[in-house]
């Protein structure tokens, strides 16, 4: 299962129409080809299969990230490792 975790835009490459986002401390690239809103560095977006799909406000992003952090803290170490391994199987572009 792929979950869309709020990701903060760290940089934008306007030539390639891509961005680098920070998702709970992990940086990855994402395409801006499918988002229908203007975004700038510092905005929060939801990523799906390597594409920024929606911009969300910071308050909603912080609330979601808080819930994700609570879930992570309650998981057993083995469950965390399995969740990470499964997330690596989600297509990212």
Per residue in 13-45, pLDDT tens? 999 999 999 988 889 999 999 999 999 999 999
Q: 31 forms bridges with which residues in the sheet?
A: 18, 51
- Of 6-10, 27-31, 53-57, 70-74, the range with the lowest mean pLDDT is 70-74
Do 54 and 18 form a contact (C-beta atoms < 8 A)?
A: no
End-to-end Cα, the chain, rounded Å: 16
Q: Give me the long-range contacts of 29-35 (CB less than 8 A, separation at least 24).
A: 29/93, 31/93
- Rg, the chain, Cα only: 13
Tell me what the pLDDT averaged over the chain comes to. Answer: 86
Question: pLDDT class for 84, splitting at 50, 70, 90?
Answer: low
88: tokens are: 């690596």
pTM over 0.75: yes
């Amino acid at each position: 299962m792929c979950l869309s975790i709020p990701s903060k835009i760290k940089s934008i490459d306007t030539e390639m129409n891509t961005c680098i986002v920070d998702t709970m401390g992990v940086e990855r690239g994402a395409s801006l080809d499918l988002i229908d809103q203007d975004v700038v560095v510092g905005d929060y977006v939801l990523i799906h299969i390597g594409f920024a799909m929606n911009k969300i406000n910071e308050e909603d992003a912080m609330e979601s990230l808080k819930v994700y952090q609570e879930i992570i803290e309650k998981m057993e170490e083995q469950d965390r490792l399995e969740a990470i391994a499964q997330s690596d199987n989600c297509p990212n572009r």
